[in-house]
Amino acid sequence: MTLQEFGESLTKKKLTKEQKKALADKAKALKLKLKEQSKKERKKKEKIIKNNRSKGIMDFSYEIGENKNIVKIEQIILEYKKEWEFIDEHLNVKELPITEWVTNDKFCEVYQELRLIVDEMMRLEYELLQKALAKDKKKKYKAPKKKKPKKPKAKKEKKEKDMTANRMIESIYYEMEDKGLIRKHEKHTFDEWIGEYNYCAYDLRNYMMRDSIAAKGEIRDIIRECIIGMGPLDITKPKSIILSGPLNSGKKLLVDIMATEIGAIVINLSPEITYKFADNVNYLIHLVNKMSRILQPVIIEIQQCHRMFWKKVPKEDEWLCPGLLSKFLFKKIVKPLKITDKIFVVGTTDIPWQGKGKMKKCFEKVILLPRTDYGTSYLTWRKTVLSFNGMPRDFEFSPLAFVTREYETGNMISVCKEVLNVKRRMKISRFPLKPTEFVDHFIENEIFPINEADATKFLKWYTKNHKLAKQRVKFMKIMEVLRLALEKKKQDQKEKAKQKKK
């Protein structure tokens, strides 16, 4: 107490027991009143929040506190799902260590040690081969000069202005979702992709002198290789690919499969959505670059990407402004991507030969979805028909697959679902299923495979834009010239032998 308070306490009269009880009762009454008022106010706020939520109004000022223990439990659950959920410990009765994890760790250590030794041995072998080549040409061997490693110059990176620096990430995400830039993809896996391998590729290339394209079963493996770098390992991968093929060939399905396998978010940059940003293209590019690096892994999808590179835009599609991103796609989206960035640009086209200009630069890898062969058509019919309950196992799949061997798999699946409706499945016990029902449905709805002219256009475009396809075409021409030269020599030798006999 201060001196004044101490002086006042001396002058004050001492309270009796009854007065002290009265003061204590008043203090308790005040506390109870305050508690009741706080409860009433809390109930009023909760009622207001519930009414607003029912109307669709969210009050962001009302925040629920987080419990530290619950956050820890959630983190532990996520770690369990990543590391232990796929392991069955019921079989491991003796609680032995998991050999795969041990062998993988040791394999990495051994690989790093042996890699240095293998590199040295390869360099020594290369020097020996160079010496042997110099002896054959009767020249002096000149040892290559060891180049000193140049110090990389520090480049000054230009920092772009952040147009959305004052905004929350959630608000930017909801804006992109409202405008259709973020597409909710369907969940599909590689098991749903039906396709058979091309078992005649070796014979076609080496004996028939024909270039064989990857079959639908091989495309599954090609896309898996492209996706490996989108995982935790920083492996070199193509920054962008283009999926070309006819209608209902499975291009959108492949994009959905990639997104589900990686667990990625799909950003759609097709002209039907980008025309909304015709007045402010830089803002659109900023949104895509910023959010794609925050929300990794991300797949940037461009449906019918040939429309971006039209020379003459048709009048029907002028309102879409399809060439809006044609100048900026390579420079500002594809080129700045690094190995560590888990971002993948995918374009899909039905008419790829109409895309001209910078379309080759924007997409590093070209994948052509071929026409279905007998094997793929057989697998599609068998899998789709037998997926329905009560279907006969002895159904004649092979003739149906032979007739529809050039139809697209998407058309086959849709026709199968339309024919095998509920009414038809109820009558199968009385009227057995026949392959002519599917063929008649194709003819009635005028569903036909692509023409040979369109198929040749796809092949020509593929050979022009694919690097390995160009090299294969040149190689095939050289082999044909050599074959013709050998045949002429044999004919000349036979004619000379006949003349000598005469």
Domain residues for the domain of 435 are 389-396+403-444
User: Do residues 245 and 309 share a domain?
Assistant: yes
Containing 365, the helix (H) or strand (E) segment is: strand 365-368
pTM as predicted: 0.65
Which residue from 220, 226, 230 is spatially nearest to 238, judged by alpha carbons? 226
CB 262 within 8 A of CB 367: no
Give residues with Cβ within 8 angstroms of 14, minimum separation 6: none
* pLDDT number for residue 71: 87
- Are 133 and 218 members of one domain? no
Is omega for the bond preceding 297 within 30 degrees of 0, making it cis?
Answer: yes
Q: How many domains does the chain have?
A: 3
pLDDT, residue 94, reads: 79
**261 and 175 within one domain:** yes
The predicted structure's pLDDT at residue 156: 59
Residue 453 lies in a domain: no
111 plus 178 within the same structural domain: no
Provide the total of helices (H) and of strands (E) in the chain, helices listed first.
Answer: 18, 6
**Does residue 245 share a domain with residue 111?**
no
**330 near 298, Cβ under 8 Å?**
no
Residues 6 or more apart whose Cβ sits within 8 Å of residue 222: 214, 367
Domain assignment of residue 158, yes or no: no
Same structural domain for residues 235 and 329?
yes
Residue 344 located in a structural domain: yes
Residue 266 — pLDDT band, cuts 50, 70, 90?
very high
Residue 500 placed within a domain: no
Strands 343-349 and 265-268: unpaired
Q: What is the CA radius of gyration of the chain?
A: 36
Q: Are residues 433 and 348 in the same domain?
A: no
Yes or no: say if 226 and 365 are a contact pair by the CB < 8 Å rule.
Answer: yes
Q: Which of 390, 402, 462 is nearest to 428 (CA)?
A: 390
Residue 69 lies in a domain: no
Decide if 315 is inside a domain.
yes
33 falls within a domain: no
Q: Give the model confidence (pLDDT) of 417-459 as tens digits.
A: 999 999 988 888 889 889 899 999 999 888 888 888 888 888 8
In 172-309, DSSP assigns E strands to 182-183, 240-244, 265-268, 298-303
Task: Pick the more confident residue, 184 or 475.
Answer: 184
Q: Tell me what the pLDDT averaged over the chain comes to.
A: 85
User: With b meaning 16 or more CB within 10 Å and e meaning fewer, what string describes 405-428?
Assistant: bebbbbbbbbbbeebbeeeeeeee
Helix (H) or strand (E) holding 344: strand 343-349
Is residue 212 within 8 Å of residue 198, measured between CB atoms? yes
pLDDT on residue 234: 79
3-state DSSP assignment of residue 300: strand
In a domain, 411, yes or no: yes
Q: Burial-class residue 303 by CB neighbours within 10 Å (0-12, 13-18, 19+).
A: buried
The single-letter code of the amino acid at 101 is W
User: Residue 182: beta bridge partners?
Assistant: 267
Of the candidates 454, 462, 301, the residue with the CA atom closest to the CA atom of residue 366 = 462
Cβ atoms 225, 218 nearer than 8 A: no
Instruction: Note the pLDDT of residue 44.
Output: 85
Q: Where are the beta strands (DSSP E) in 158-239?
A: 182-183
CA distance linking residue 154 with residue 339, whole number of Å? 19
Asked if pLDDT for residue 299 goes beyond 90, the answer is yes
| Biggest distance spanned by C-alpha atoms of the chain | 158
| pLDDT on residue 236 | 84
- Range of lowest pLDDT (51-55, 299-303, 379-383): 51-55
Same domain, 189 and 314: yes
**Same-domain check for residues 206 and 258:** yes
* Pure H helices in 387-448: 397-403, 409-419, 422-426, 435-444
CA distance 183 to 272: 13
Candidate from 155-159, 355-359, 380-384, 409-413 with smallest mean pLDDT: 155-159
Closest alpha carbon to 341 in 299, 301, 282, 285: 299
* CATH number of the domain where residue 230 is located: 3.40.50.300
Which parts of 84-182 fold into alpha helices (H)? 99-136, 169-178
How far, in Å, CA of 315 to CA of 86, rounded? Answer: 55
Find, among 366, 280, 364, the residue nearest to 325 by Cα. Answer: 280
- Whether residues 246 and 313 share a domain: the answer is yes
233 DSSP assignment: S
Q: Give the pLDDT band (50/70/90) at residue 60.
A: low
Say whether both 118 and 219 belong to one domain: no
175 shares its domain with 132? no
Tokens representing 173?
Answer: 């995400």
3-state helix, strand, coil in the chain (%, to 5): 60, 5, 35
pLDDT band at 58 (very low <50, low <70, confident <90, very high): low
